[in-house]
């Protein structure tokens, strides 16, 4: 039997008579071949909330939650779950969630970068951060700041080569809903693949009664007219926009929207750590976020 000290409590919660009775019962258990200390550890382990348990809850209640339309809110849930199972759970899954430290997360991220690359390391840290933030909103005792670390965004060959994945797009979409005109202008390119200036300078006159958007040659990247039938979601977004200006996404004074820096800063604050730094695709730029 392994050695160790088995404590039962402190005075005055435990009287001398009660302590003697407990000691006799422990002696009897030891005589029967039991190990009260190991049994206590096993019982305590059953009640530990591990990182794995938090990830399980998050995947079930959030990442794989279904909306009224019966579709998964996070269509990339399979990819997220696979990344967590392969790269995150083996490193930090068994750790008590209240003992998870920045060092644990940093070492996990470094390991993922070594075996799977900087992009996957950044992505896994984002998945983990989102799950932990979800848990922190439901537990008063969990300190998110003790566990989350920032990692350097992966190097790219071009200034705007990074593309948001499904998980990040959903985070941006949710945050944009509370970002006013700028948020609506962010959603529109997500629905149409339009560039930033094509959306910000969009006049109502380019949208016809049939829901077709015609970008004139003057505003088109290839200097040729571009005809784009709009989806139902894009039309619903336009229908919700005020009609008191010549521009769909009007800024100050009814002019075309131009305060991108302030709008992007607000959106970044709302996103927090859910999405690593990215930019809006601008006119003339290669495809990217």
> Of 177, 218, 180, nearest to 197 (Cα)?
218
Give CA–CA dist 147/51, Å, rounded: 11
pLDDT averaged over every residue in the chain: 78
Residues 43 and 259: their CA atoms lie apart, in Å, by 58
- Whole-angstrom Cα distance, residue 288 to residue 164? 8
Please check whether residue 77 is in contact with residue 59, taking contact to mean a CB–CB distance below 8 angstroms.
yes
Q: Identify the top-confidence range among 3-7, 32-36, 62-66, 233-237.
A: 233-237
pLDDT at 285 (0 to 100): 37
Q: What share of the chain is helix, strand, coil (3-state, %, to 5)?
A: 50, 5, 40
Rounded Cα distance between 193 and 180, Å, is 20
Q: pTM of this prediction?
A: 0.45
Mapped onto helix, strand or coil, the DSSP state of residue 50 is strand
What are 90-113's pLDDT values in tens digits?
999 999 999 998 889 989 998 988
Q: How far apart are CA 272 and CA 129, in angstroms?
A: 10
- Residue 37 scores a pLDDT above 80: no
Amino acid 72: pLDDT: 41
Q: Which residue did the predictor score with more confidence, 266 or 73?
A: 266
Domains assigned to the chain: 1-43 (no CATH), 51-146 (1.10.150), 166-271 (1.10.443.10)
Structure confidence at residue 74 (pLDDT): 46
pLDDT tens digits for 135-191?
Answer: 888 888 888 776 765 544 444 444 445 667 777 788 888 888 888 889 898 899 889
Angle, CA 40 vertex, CA 35 and CA 41 arms, to 5°: 100
Position 223 scores a pLDDT of: 79
Reading phi first (left if > 0) and then psi (alpha if -120 to 50, else beta), residue 254 is in left
Say yes or no to pLDDT of 118 above 90: no
């Amino acid at each position: 039997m392994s050695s160790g000290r088995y404590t039962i409590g402190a005075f005055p919660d435990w009287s001398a008579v009660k302590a003697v009775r407990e000691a006799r019962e422990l002696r009897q258990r030891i005589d029967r071949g039991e190990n009260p200390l190991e049994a206590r550890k096993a019982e305590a382990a059953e009640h530990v909330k591990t990182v794995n348990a938090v990830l399980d809850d998050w995947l079930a209640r959030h990442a794989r939650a279904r909306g009224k339309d019966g579709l998964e809110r996070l269509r990339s849930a399979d990819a997220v779950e696979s990344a967590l199972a392969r790269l995150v759970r083996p490193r930090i899954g068994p750790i008590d969630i209240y003992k998870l430290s920045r060092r644990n997360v940093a070492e996990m991220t470094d390991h993922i970068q070594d075996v799977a690359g900087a992009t996957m390391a950044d992505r896994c840290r984002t998945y983990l951060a989102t799950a932990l933030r979800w848990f922190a909103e439901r537990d008063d005792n969990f300190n998110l700041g003790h566990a989350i670390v920032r990692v350097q965004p992966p190097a790219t060959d071009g200034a705007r080569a990074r593309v948001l994945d499904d998980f990040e797009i959903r985070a941006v979409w949710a945050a944009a809903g509370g970002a006013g005109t700028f948020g609506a202008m962010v959603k529109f390119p997500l629905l149409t693949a339009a560039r930033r200036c094509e959306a910000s300078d969009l006049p109502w006159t380019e949208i016809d009664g049939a829901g077709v958007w015609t970008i004139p040659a003057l505003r088109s990247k290839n200097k040729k007219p571009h005809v784009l039938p709009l989806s139902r979601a894009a039309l619903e977004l336009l229908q919700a926009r005020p009609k008191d200006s010549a521009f769909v996404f009007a800024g100050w004074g009814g002019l075309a929207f131009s305060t991108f820096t302030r709008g992007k800063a607000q959106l970044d604050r709302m996103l927090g750590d859910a999405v690593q730094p990215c930019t809006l695709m601008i006119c003339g730029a290669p495809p990217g976020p």
